[in-house]
Amino acid sequence: MALHRNVRADRASATVGFRPQFSRDGETAELPRYRLPVGGMDPDTAYQIVHDELMLDGNARLNLATFVTTWMEPQARALIDECSDKNMVDKDEYPQTAELEQRCVAMLADLWHATDAEEATGTSTTGSSEACMLGGLALLHRWRARRTAAGLPADRPNLVMGANVQVCWEKFCRYWDVEARLVSVDASCTHLSPEGAAAHCDERTIGVVAVLGSTFDGTFEPVADIAAALDELQTTTGVDVPLHVDAASGGFVAPFLDPDLVWDFRVERVQSINTSGHKYGLVYPGVGWAVWRSADALPGELVFDVDYLGGSMPTFGLNFSRPGAQIVAQYYNFVRLGADGFTRVQQACRATAKWLAGEVAGLGPFTLVSDGSELPVVAFRVADGEDRFSVYDVSDALRGHGWLVPAYAMPEGLEDVSVLRVVVRNGFSRNLAELLVADLGAVVDELGQRASGRRPEDAKRSAFHH
């Protein structure tokens, strides 16, 4: 969460004003902004004030920056509403919600080719960040246990990953005092390479993180090849390094669109996998999943018991209370769509992303960094020799058309390259993609004319007609 500094309450703008017709008898038309009001107000008035303030938020459907779901069916919304009072940790009170959570874990383990014999174990989380923390903690504890059992020092652990990892992994390392060994990327490989991974490991490496769907450009890291490089490392040096797959986005894409891509529990070295239910799992924000290939991969000391139907149920998580509604919504998606439905949704996203990539490339001033053929994500930079504008100019100008398309520098090794990224999600239709391409074309023309000293024609700029 953002850390909010306390704001001085005596500032001139320390009140929230609202329209007089909404205040009832005895209510003032002003509220303190940063202090708890002394008295309350009519619920309709309170609703209107909060509702009006929120009008300044962007339109979620035009937010092409986020991987997180911005549209669900009314039936899913109804279930979320019905379950918004259920606390996931109260397994005893809400055994059926706990049952649905268990079914979701089982379905994901199956989707990711866990074997019955190994008894995969998993949990829901608040999102992939928490799931990654849990995956990292399990690696850390297992490494410490191995080192201690062998009579070896268990200090100065490190975790190896590409410089393109999402910030949650750097957070994990900082919070739990683990060295983050980031492997630089380059233009020929914008994510972790097998050689890079193996070369950075040593006896203090608790694990390697492979990302299925890089946040920066949507590319899949070659999990099976990374595992093979680690097998080779073990053969030559005896250093045995487990793999965690951060499939925050790809965990709900690859199984449906690339069933032959071997990245999951079919790879023996993969100990654990996380995904975000609220990304391509198609649920509103608030749910992630972590699955370990076997109970052995999850150190017992990390598991806490909570009351459950007169007995106890093992739990592993950073939070205590958590909403149950999103878990129910995940289960709804599973039964509503089935494997066929998920395949259709992800296929449509990939087809739109590939179409969009072709159009962007065709505009002229851009070079594709990724073309939507892995995650449905299109990342592109300004082409060599195009010096009339930067990706930041394009991002700013697109905001004027309502689109949120982020521009940012690529990770260490490619930090001189800045890109724009469009995440194609369920609900970003081909129709919307066509509108985006038209606006992108207009923005490029406008920025080009400005750079060449010509003002775009006044007639075209006019936005006010009587």
Q: From residue 354, how far is each of 15, 112, 228 by CA, in Å?
A: 49, 25, 30
Q: Interacting stretch for ligand PLP, rule CB under 6 A, among 31-39, 193-201, 246-254, 306-314?
A: 246-254
- Check residue 414 for interaction with ligand PLP (CB under 6 A): no
Nearest to 128 by CA among 253, 280, 325, 264: 280
- Which of residues 18, 45, 62, 67 is near ligand PLP by CB under 6 A? 67
- Check residue 249 for interaction with ligand PLP (CB under 6 A): yes
Nearest to 374 by CA among 245, 219, 255: 219
For ligand PLP, the closer CB: 105 or 132 = 132
Q: What is the DSSP letter of 284?
A: -
Closest separation in Å from C-beta 212 to ligand PLP:
8
- Check residue 323 for interaction with ligand PLP (CB under 6 A): no
Residue that the structure tokens 């890291």 belong to? 221
Using CB under 6 A as the binding rule, the residues of this chain from 113 to 132 that contact ligand PLP are 127-129, 132
Return all residues near 339 (Cβ < 8 A) that are at least 6 apart: 256
CA pair distance 263, 211, nearest whole angstrom = 10
Using CB under 6 A as the binding rule, the residues of this chain from 159 to 198 that contact ligand PLP are 166, 168
Amino acid at 256: F
Closest separation in Å from C-beta 169 to ligand PLP:
7
Nearest to 64 by CA among 336, 358, 374, 394: 394
- x/- map, 128-157, ligand PLP, by CB under 6 A: xx--x-------------------------
Q: What count of other Cβ atoms lies within 10 Å of the Cβ of residue 371? A: 20
- Check residue 69 for interaction with ligand PLP (CB under 6 A): no
- Which of residues 248, 369, 440, 444 is near ligand PLP by CB under 6 A? 248
Amino acid at 370: S
Closest separation in Å from C-beta 249 to ligand PLP:
6
Nearest to 160 by CA among 141, 129, 182: 182
- Check residue 286 for interaction with ligand PLP (CB under 6 A): no
- Check residue 97 for interaction with ligand PLP (CB under 6 A): no
CB 242 within 8 A of CB 139: yes
Where along the sequence are the contacts to ligand PLP (CB under 6 A)? 67, 127-129, 132, 166, 168, 211, 213, 215, 246, 248-249, 276, 288
